[in-house]
Amino acid sequence: MKAFSGNGLMDTGSLFFNPELSRLTTSRTTSLFAEDIKAHDAELRSAIAGRRILVTGGAGSIGSATLELLFPYAPAAVHVIDLAENGLVELVRDFRSRPQSLVSGEFRLLPIDYGSAAAERLLQTEKPYDLVLHFAAHKHVRSEKDVPSVIQMIDTNVVKMHRFTKWLQKYGHGKRYFAVSTDKAANPTSLMGASKRLMEHVLFSIGNEGASVTSTRFANVAFSNGSLLQGFLYRLARRQPLAVPREVRRYFVSPREAAEICLLTAGAAAPGHITFPRLDPNEHLRPLVDIAVALLQELGLQPAFYEHEAEACAATETELKRGSYPVLLTPLDTSGEKPYEEFVAVDEKPAPTDFAALSALRYVPPPIPLEPALAFFDEIATDAGMKLEKSDIARHVASVVPGFKHIETGRSLDDRT
């Protein structure tokens, strides 16, 4: 693969859309979930074929990958809402520009906030949706860097989710509800992970009204939007060093595998359950440094490791002349970062499942009623004059999220390369 073009920038087109990227990350050439997709085909067709489907956050990495797999099941209508207007534009261009257009049935894309009055207006006026797939979220641990950012994250992941689910019930939408969670919701150490655990609580409260509700926790999606690995591609394109936390290993799934997990969970998992991939730490945990090295070697480059940011940032041109590329090794010392990954919290137990590659657990409700915490979160999202510290938010989160042990170091990922 050609590494650099004549204008001094990497030929990003050959990288950003290269299907080999997932293989470099997961070391797999076939999906872990292919057998489950085949085995549960009848259930998936029953859940999707001829159905009206609403997708929130559909322009993101997981949402768009799931949409790509939805259309072959012939839904009657797919409506996508996402604030990422540019993402929606590229999504429809991509889907309609394939040699055989992916789109079937009614396909609408709406650039709106899922927790806004515009979203309520949509739910008021549309015929009932049979299936609701929720992907909209703030997903970065770095979003807890300051109080305004934490408030926005809580507003997006919790307050708006609560508002949205109430509208779904009020206007008669959804026999099935599904939302993506994260491994960071299990015994969270970050406010982001805890906010996703709160999202689970809000989501599963709909099940009390008789709907089929499911969720999934999975780890990192290879080269997804905003991820460290996608950042590698941008750094290469701009001739900047790759920054990698040393001695950190993570689980990865490909975008297609992520979409298959979502389809299987939304269409075939037992109500009231949270699924997670059945991964072997000895086989599937990948050191992040190894992925950076594999990417460079795919480009015909060797890693040159650096310990100091300024030296790494100044070394790109020199290293390229040697056929190498600077890799900055960093400590894992920022707020909320967890040194390991897990899918099951201290108060949860695995549940039986008939999936070959997915495990599951039964949802466990909070130890106390959720309403007082939700009232507090709604207040901080709407009252700009309220005096507030990050510790105040963490304390209210901990009241309804057992196992939440916030790691606060005073450092953010925004403080480094």
Tens digit of pLDDT for each residue in 142-187? 888 899 999 999 999 999 999 999 999 999 997 899 999 999 999 9
pLDDT at 9: 46
In a domain? residue 375 = yes
Whether residue 305 contacts residue 290, with contact meaning beta carbons closer than 8 Å, is answered with no
Q: What is the DSSP letter of 128?
A: P
Residue percentage of the chain with pLDDT more than 90:
80
Give the model's pLDDT for residue 7: 42
Whether the per-residue pLDDT at 5 is higher than 60: the answer is: no
In this predicted structure, the answer to whether residue 334 has a pLDDT above a threshold of 90 is no
Full residue range of the structural domain in which residue 109 is found:
30-220+255-282+336-415
For the segment 251-260, the average pLDDT, to the nearest whole number, is 96
335 and 190 in contact (C-beta within 8 Å)? yes
**Which of 152-166, 293-307, 332-346 has the weakest average pLDDT?**
332-346
The pair of structure tokens assigned to 265 is: 């969970």
- pLDDT-derived band at 338 (thresholds 50, 70, 90) equals confident
- Which whole number is the average pLDDT over 16-20? 72
Q: Are 242 and 236 in contact (CB under 8 A)?
A: yes
Contact 191, 397 (CB under 8 A): yes
Of residues 377 and 105, the one with the higher pLDDT is: 377
Could you tell me if 169 and 209 are in contact, meaning their C-beta atoms sit under 8 angstroms apart?
Answer: yes
Neighbour-count burial of 252, counting CB atoms closer than 10 A to its CB (0-12 exposed, 13-18 middle, 19+ buried): buried
Full DSSP string of 150-192: HHHHHIIIIIHHHHHHHHHHHTT--SEEEEE--GGGSS-SSHH
Q: Which two tokens stand for residue 338?
A: 């967890």
> What 8-state DSSP symbol labels residue 355?
-
Q: Report residue 312 as tokens.
A: 């790494």
25 in a structural domain: no
Query: For the ranges 111-115, 166-170, 331-335, which has the lowest average pLDDT?
Result: 331-335
Q: What is the CATH number of the domain that holds 208?
A: 3.40.50.720
Please, what is the average pLDDT of the chain?
92
* Structure-token pair, residue 336: 């909320």
**280 vs 16, residue with greater confidence:** 280
Does any domain span residue 111?
yes
Q: How far is CA 335 from CA 191, 192, 290, 316, 344, in A?
A: 9, 11, 24, 29, 22
125 in a structural domain = yes
Is 272 within 8 Å of 363 (Cβ atoms)? yes
Structure confidence at residue 11 as a pLDDT band (50, 70, 90): low
Q: State the DSSP code for 4.
A: B
Asked if residue 289 belongs to a domain, the reply is no
Looking at this protein, which amino acid is placed at residue 295?
L
d(CA 47, CA 130): 8
**What pLDDT is recorded for position 242?**
98
Reported as a pLDDT band with limits 50, 70 and 90, residue 80 is very high
Decide if pLDDT at 316 tops 60: yes
Residue 193 located in a structural domain? yes
Q: What is the mean pLDDT of residues 24-53?
A: 96
Q: Would 330 be classed as within a structural domain? A: no
Alpha-carbon distances, residue 106 vs 3, 83, 102 (angstroms): 42, 20, 12
200 near 181, Cβ under 8 Å? yes
Task: List the beta strands (DSSP E) in 267-347.
Answer: 273-277, 286-287, 302-306, 324-330
Sheet containing 242-245: give its strands across.
242-245, 324-330, 302-306
How far from 224 is each of 64, 125, 231, 387, CA to CA, in Å? 11, 34, 9, 36
For residue 191, is it within any domain? yes
SS3 state at 93? helix
- Would the pLDDT of 1 be above 80? no
Number of domains in the chain: 1
Which helix (H) or strand (E) is 68 found in, with range?
helix 61-70
pLDDT of residue 326: 98
Whole-prediction pTM: 0.94
